[in-house]
Structure 1
Amino acid sequence: MITFEQVSVQYHESAEPALHGVDLTIPEGELCLLVGPSGAGKSTLLGTVSGLVPHFTGGVLHGRVTVNGRDTRTHRPRELADVVGTVGQDPLAHFVTDTVEDELAYGMESLGLAPDVMRRRVEETLDLLGLAELRGRALTALSGGQQQRVAIGSVLTTHPKVLVLDEPTSALDPGAAEEVLAVLQRLVHDLGTTVLMAEHRLERVVQYADQVLLLPGRGQTPVLGEAAEVMAHSPVHPPVVALGRAVGWSPLPLSVRDARRRAAPLRARLDGRTPAPATVPAPARATATVDRLAVQRGPVPALRGVRLDLHPGEITALMGRNGAGKSTLLGSLVGLHRPTAGSVRVGGLIPHQTRPKELIRQVGLVPQDPRDLLYAETVAAECAAADRDSAAEPGTCRALVARLLPGIDDATHPRDLSEGQRLSLALAVVLTARPGVILLDEPTRGLDYAAKARLVEILRDLAAESHAVLLATHDVELAAELAHRTVILAEGEIVADGPTPEIVVSSPAFAPQVAKILSPGPWLTVPQVVEALAAEEAR
């Protein structure tokens, strides 16, 4: 269905090709998972299939890519629209209408389908993706995860033969992600749709892949093969694979179920042992206090009676399904929403009544899309603006960038950075004012495992410097590894609040892979298990 013949892509401003030597075929009716470290060329490869590369992105395409017999060099994206459906990382950039139902119908209107066919497919897609209750809602009023489902639905209504997806579950809670992946499986198994999907959250998707296409990095030859074979040597892999590698399982398990079937001896070795206790910050006076907070967003009560204290040195994970109110709570802490009832105080200030210049010294928010904070033409200009806005010494922000994002040229435009690099730049902008409270909304969206590990180190350093850190996330692995405390929101109310091990182990939805494999033991991460086994062998 998709054939790459000695494909390479060279962008004009780059010294090295973004892709090199891709020569392989993806058969019809298979789900192919595209993996590799950030900067390996995954988005470029997806673009060659949809025709966006080189017709819209520029650069030079060597070799040939054919999709259902059509050469993407001679067919522009609009001429491939009936064959290839594409969903990018940013749902808002994908939308062309105002409401859910109109967005689902737009692609079919462009193809000239009959009204009765359009109506039937819209209803089918609303049911498939659980969007029926949102059909009349404005797209801008949806949560990030809801927008992602609408973006996927708008592509599905045209019934393409090939689906190209870039991080399709990155903004979804675990339950919504499972729904989307179940739909994709149904399309592959029942309709013979070919799915090519790039995803950093491999713990969610690798068990569903018929094949895995690994891009090891620039200058290295891509590898296509069975998932277990590729994961055995892939530099990026989910915790279940890391655990299998650590204890020598062969073949490697790809799902929690497969790992549990083989984990009885490991559970016996770990029986009676507990992970080394995490360092808990000493009790301190709260730097931010939310007391019985209620927020109304239009007709919808977004928060109801929320109580939350944030303490210096403590990292808190805020979790819950899409639309639970996580982003609203973060926005309330930086004054974006006026309370309907209750109160919010940060460093003694009332956020919605405080001038931004004063507030940024107390609290800073890195939003879901870091581009919301980045408006200058170069990295150097962003840093200079951050220094001015924070009344910091010139060079303060640039020094932070050098620490968080080494090797980036001052003249680089923020739009040319990867997702992880943009996040690091936005975080540096926020940290320039040295706020006591740091808020992050879905910080690992678009990050590979290496970039996520760097973020973990950065946030731990910030906590050690007595910053209070609150991160809203669907990444259960991040919460298990990093957070001292986990808070779960549902329908605008806090339904759980306590030490992370207690909260996530008891939750089927929010437990990490290791906790599910080694249940009922208290283990959350692979490093905890490796450390315990090493201590056992050393005795």
Structure 2
Amino acid sequence: MIRFENVSVTYADADRPALSGVELTVEEGELCLLAGPSGVGKSTLLGAVSGLVPHFTGGRLGGRVTVAGRDTRTHKPRELADVVGTVGQDPLAHFVTDVVEDELAYGMESLGIAPDVMRRRVEETLDLLGLADLRDRPLATLSGGQRQRVAIGSVLTVHPKVLVLDEPTSALDPAAAEEVLAVLQRLVHDLGTTVLLAEHRLERVVQYADRVVLLPGPGEPPVVGDPASVMAVSPVFPPVVGLGRLAGWSPLPLSVRDARRAAGALREELAGRSPVPVAAPAADGEPVAKASGLSVRRGRIEALRGVDLAVRPGEAIALMGRNGAGKSTLLGTLTGLYEPAAGTVRVDGVVPHRTAPRRLVRHVGLVPQEPRDLLYADTVTGECAAADDDAGAAGAAAGTCRALVEELLPGVPDDTHPRDLSEGQRLALALAVVLTARPPLLLLDEPTRGLDYAAKARLVTHLRALAAEGHAIILATHDVELAAELAHRVVILADGEVVADGPTAEVVVSSPAFAPQVSKVLRPQDWLTVSQVAGAMGWSG
């Protein structure tokens, strides 16, 4: 169905190919997972399948890519639209209408599909992806995860032979991610759809893949094989694989179920030991931020109801909950984007919605889900210079932002345009911009979206250092592994209300939805991360 024959891609002004020597065949009805560190060419490979590379991106395509017998060099993306459905990392970039139901129908209208068939397919897709309650909602009012599901639905309605998905679960809560993956499984198994997807959250998808294509480094040829054999040598791997590698399990488990079967002896050895939790800050002192009885309306929707929350210096809180639960609204209220309908909110002694933005950045900083909202300059250097200038009043020295970029995103050239960075790289740049002012309260909305495991580890290290210096941190996240590694507390929102608030282990171990992989493998013990287990067992590697 998809064939790469000695494919290379070199972009204009690049000093090396983004892809080189790719030989790959993806069969009909196969779910193929594309894995590898950030910046190795995964999005380029996906773009070559849909024809976006080189027709939209430019650059030079060497070799040959065919999809269902059509050469992507001679067929432009619109001439492949009935065969290939594509969802990129940024759902907003794909939307052409304003309302959910219209967006689901648009692709079919473009292909001239009969109205009665269109109506039936829209209804089927609304049910498949749990979107029926959102059918009349404006796209601008949806959460990031809801937009992701709409973007996937908009290509499913066309019934393409091939689905190309770039980070399809990155903005979804665990339950919604499972629903989407179940849909993909059904398409592959029942309809023979070919699915090629790139995903950094391998813990969600690797067990469903028929094959894994690993891109080990920029321009290096891929390693192709069954998931277990590729994961055994891959530089990126989920926690359950990391646990299996360290414990020496064979065959290497890919799912929690397989790992539990192999972990009996390990559970016995750990029974008399206790994990070292993330060190909590002192409970005394005034909160950096406090919300009391907070209610917020967004249009006709009551997004938050009676929220009480106090965040102390040095505390890292993971704010979790299903898509649309109110997480981004709470962060937005703490940064003055929304005015409370009831209750009060204060941050570092000021009322956010009554404080001028240039003053407020010295009290609270927000890294949004869409990092491009913060990036306006033409180069990385330009962004860093602007951040240093904006943060000057907070005592930031020249070069502060660039030093942070090098720590979070090593090796990125100064003259790189932010739009030429991957989603994860743009997020790291936006984080550096916000951190330059060193605000007492740091808010991050889905901070690991698009980040590989190495980049996530660097982020965790940096955030731990900030917390140790007294910065308070709130992360709105669906990444349960991030919460396990970093958070002192977990707060779970549902329909705008706080339904759980407590130490990380107490909240997540008992939750089927929000427990990390290691917790599920070693339940009922309170282990959360591979590093905790490795430390207790004296493992290294």
- The TM-score normalised by the length of structure 1 is 0.98
| Counterpart AA for 1:115 | P
Q: How does 1:343-422 map to 2 (within 5 A)?
A: 343-392=344-393, 393-422=397-426
The whole-number CA distance in structure 2 between the counterparts of 1:277 and 1:411 is 42
TM-superposition CA deviations, 1:246-296 (whole Å, max 9, x none):
111111111111111121111111112111243221223211111110001
| Counterpart AA for 2:365 | G
Equivalent position of 2:189 in the other structure = 189
Gaps of 5+ in 2: none
2:252 maps to 1:252: yes
1:140 CA drift (Å): 0.6
The whole-number CA distance in structure 1 between the counterparts of 2:404 and 2:227 is 39
2:520 maps to 1:519: no
The whole-number CA distance in structure 2 between the counterparts of 1:157 and 1:49 is 19
Q: How does 1:77-96 map to 2 (within 5 A)?
A: 77-96=77-96
1:410 CA drift (Å): 2.5
What secondary structure does 2:53 align onto?
helix
What secondary structure does 2:64 align onto?
strand
Report the more deviating stretch, 34-43 or 212-221.
212-221
Equivalent position of 2:430 in the other structure = 426
Q: How does 1:471-490 map to 2 (within 5 A)?
A: 471-490=475-494
The whole-number CA distance in structure 1 between the counterparts of 2:411 and 2:3 is 36
User: CA RMSD, aligned part only?
Assistant: 1.3
Equivalent position of 1:268 in the other structure = 268
What secondary structure does 2:538 align onto?
helix
Give percent identity, aligned residues only: 76
The whole-number CA distance in structure 2 between the counterparts of 1:370 and 1:471 is 15
TM-superposition CA deviations, 1:73-102 (whole Å, max 9, x none):
110000000000000011111100010111
Instruction: Choose from 510, 520, 528 the match for 2:532.
Output: 528
Equivalent position of 1:40 in the other structure = 40
Equivalent position of 1:328 in the other structure = 329
2:536 maps to 1:505: no
1:433 CA drift (Å): 1.9
1:242 CA drift (Å): 0.6
Please tell me whether the aligned partners of residues 164 and 197 of structure 1 are also in contact (alpha carbons under 8 angstroms).
yes
How many residue pairs get aligned? The number is 536
The whole-number CA distance in structure 2 between the counterparts of 1:176 and 1:277 is 29
1:391 CA drift (Å): 3.0
| Counterpart AA for 2:535 | E
Instruction: Choose from 462, 467, 471 the match for 1:463.
Output: 467
1:406 CA drift (Å): 3.4
Please tell me whether the aligned partners of residues 292 and 304 of structure 1 are also in contact (alpha carbons under 8 angstroms).
yes
The whole-number CA distance in structure 1 between the counterparts of 2:107 and 2:403 is 46
Report the more deviating stretch, 473-482 or 222-231.
222-231
The whole-number CA distance in structure 2 between the counterparts of 1:396 and 1:245 is 38
TM-superposition CA deviations, 1:41-75 (whole Å, max 9, x none):
10000011000001110111110011111011110
Q: How does 1:148-297 map to 2 (within 5 A)?
A: 148-283=148-283, 284-297=285-298
| Counterpart AA for 2:11 | Y
Please tell me whether the aligned partners of residues 292 and 305 of structure 1 are also in contact (alpha carbons under 8 angstroms).
yes
Please tell me whether the aligned partners of residues 405 and 421 of structure 1 are also in contact (alpha carbons under 8 angstroms).
yes
Please tell me whether the aligned partners of residues 143 and 322 of structure 1 are also in contact (alpha carbons under 8 angstroms).
yes
The whole-number CA distance in structure 2 between the counterparts of 1:140 and 1:528 is 41
| Counterpart AA for 2:382 | A
1:220 CA drift (Å): 2.6
1:383 CA drift (Å): 2.0
The whole-number CA distance in structure 2 between the counterparts of 1:280 and 1:109 is 55
Please tell me whether the aligned partners of residues 95 and 103 of structure 1 are also in contact (alpha carbons under 8 angstroms).
yes
2:495 maps to 1:494: no
Equivalent position of 2:303 in the other structure = 302
The whole-number CA distance in structure 2 between the counterparts of 1:14 and 1:366 is 29
1:409 CA drift (Å): 2.7
1:12 CA drift (Å): 1.5
Please tell me whether the aligned partners of residues 408 and 455 of structure 2 are also in contact (alpha carbons under 8 angstroms).
no
Please tell me whether the aligned partners of residues 278 and 487 of structure 2 are also in contact (alpha carbons under 8 angstroms).
no
Report the more deviating stretch, 156-165 or 213-222.
213-222
Instruction: Choose from 451, 457, 462 the match for 2:455.
Output: 451
2:109 maps to 1:109: yes
1:39 CA drift (Å): 1.1
